[in-house]
Amino acid sequence: MKKIAPIFVLIAGILWGTMGLYVRSLNELQFTTIEIVAVRSVMTALLMAVVLMVYNRRLLKVRVKDLWCFAGTGICSIIFFNYCYFKAITMTSLSVAAVLLYTAPAIVMVLSAILFREKITMIKMISLIATVVGCIFVTGILSDTSRLSPQGILVGLGAGLGYALYSIFSRFALQRGYGSLTITFYTFLFACFGALPLANVGMIVDACIKDISMFGFYIVFALVSTVIPYILYTVGLSAMENSKASIVASVEPVAATIFGVLLFEENVTFHNFIGILLVLGAIVICNINWKTGGKNEKR
């Protein structure tokens, strides 16, 4: 499992990179950020409920004393991260917000060292620096002339913290014996509790009534950008360190850039290309066993 764990996390990052494709479509229908989060959360929770009912109903059982783990992944991570990230976009720019979001691997590395005693090695530091620099190049922040405000930077760092907290709270849930299916279901069940009271549910339902194909769109949106990647990431997380998993998942902006080029004919600059190489290089570096030359060093 340790050998394929990084592959699971890598695929998860690539699938998360498709998020913009669905968000663009929903934005065109005048969906707000919180309504997009609500659609994503509700459909994911429903799909996961069906999977667990058919596959193994016992996976729905959790201890009341452990519910804080799922409140952490669902509300402290999913809701808080989404709110801060989209708020940062309105206060700064997409590129600035994206770079601030990808402070997450550094936050995960520090918190994991404190909470789980993971070692901060030189290889991890080199990979982390390459990841951050790569994201800066990929997002084009170097050519971004938008005004930076202290408030925008603070909110953007909040997005990075929220993004990082999924790895932290998931690790606590994994240590308590819960599997990836259970964690994913309860994460988005709690996210529903946080998103639905703030969303225009009537608008979401009306969109389906006017065009039944929208329901299918909701399902594909939840399945491709949420259900599958979160399950894969949590499975991968169970067999590798938080800090390494967070770095590998940083392939997301690279994937988003490539999807933009292929589907929307967006231009790739020399800076973008260098950034892609840096992020991919960081992923390779942090998964090489430098003592034996193999991958995924054993802990």
SS (H, E, C) the chain: CCCCHHHHHHHHHHHHCCHHHHHHHHHHCCCCHHHHHHHHHHHHHHHHHHHHHHHCHHHHCCCHHHHHHHHHHHHHHHHHHHHHHHHHHHHCCHHHHHHHHCCHHHHHHHHHHHHCCCCCCHHHHHHHHHHHHHHHHHHCHHHCCCCCCHHHHHHHHHHHHHHHHHHHHHHHHHHCCCCHHHHHHHHHHHHHHHHHHHCCHHHHHHHHHHCCHHHHHHHHHHHHHHHHHHHHHHHHHCCCCHHHHHHHHHHHHHHHHHHHHHHHCCCCCHHHHHHHHHHHHHHHHHCECCCCCCECCCC
Mean pLDDT of 205-228: 91
Bigger pLDDT: 124 or 298?
Answer: 124
CA-CA distance, 9 to 12, in Å (whole number)?
5
Out of 22-26, 29-33, 175-179, 258-262, the most confident range is 175-179
Structure pTM? 0.83
Question: What does R_g of the chain's alpha carbons equal in angstroms?
Answer: 19
pLDDT at 186: 96
151 — pLDDT class (breaks 50, 70, 90)? confident
Mean pLDDT of 252-263: 81
148 — pLDDT class (breaks 50, 70, 90)? low
CA-CA distance, 165 to 86, in Å (whole number)?
17
Mean pLDDT of 162-182: 94
Bigger pLDDT: 286 or 35?
Answer: 35
Residues sharing a CB contact under 8 Å with residue 216, sequence separation 6 or more, in sequence order: none
Judged against a pLDDT cut of 80, whether residue 81 lies above it is answered with: yes
Mean pLDDT of 69-85: 91
Out of 59-73, 205-219, 274-288, the most confident range is 59-73
CA-CA distance, 232 to 136, in Å (whole number)?
26
Question: Facing residues of 288 across strands?
Answer: 295
Question: Facing residues of 295 across strands?
Answer: 288
CA-CA distance, 121 to 113, in Å (whole number)?
11
Residues sharing a CB contact under 8 Å with residue 148, sequence separation 6 or more, in sequence order: 92, 96
pLDDT at 167: 92
**% of the chain residues with pLDDT over 70:** 92
Q: What is the mean pLDDT of the chain?
A: 86
pLDDT at 7: 93
Terminal CA-CA length for the chain? 13
pLDDT at 296: 45
Bigger pLDDT: 79 or 292?
Answer: 79
pLDDT at 202: 92
CA 45 to chain CA mean position, Å: 16
Would you say how long the chain is, in residues?
Answer: 299
